[in-house]
Structure 1
Amino acid sequence: MRFSLPLPRRSRHPLIRALSLVIGLVVVGVLMVFGLMVAGVLLVGGGLVFALRQWSRSRTARPAARTTHKPEVIEGEFVVLHQTRHAAR
């Protein structure tokens, strides 16, 4: 079964066609300006949050440097699973 909508009829009057083109361009322009404003707010806000974190991190007392470095090790138990059957694809 194929679902199809009827094609919208385009107006033949040239003034209506030009007006619909101008309205479409205005709507696209408004959406682009709104998107750029949102992107600018996010960029400035992210920069301020980053600067605040760096400033607060530099103000806190830093612990003394460790002389010996201990690597972080994840300990655990491991079990080998033997697969006797192949999974159906």
Structure 2
Amino acid sequence: MATRKPKTQDGIEDAALLILEWLAEQGVHATLRVDPERLAEGRPAWTFAASGGPLPHGMRADGADADACLSLALAVLREAGVDVPY
């Protein structure tokens, strides 16, 4: 399997940390993880999960890469009424 070179212009690592910190300040428990088994199987390996705080119920978003996962997670959070400012 080829190693993907990070796209430094994306800044996804900075955005992810800011989002996680902001969610924690709102009382939301959140995690971003990668699953090597799903990666090896060609399935979306990245998962964002959150619960608590202003969320009416827990949520989960999966993506093929960190950027896709985080983008979907932000959309789901906004649909749930949590307007993340990033």
User: Do they fold alike, i.e. is TM over 0.5?
Assistant: no
More helix by share: 1
TM-score for the superposition, normalised by structure 1: 0.25
Higher gyration radius (CA): 1
- 1 or 2 for the larger relative contact order (CA 8 Å, sep ≥6)? 2
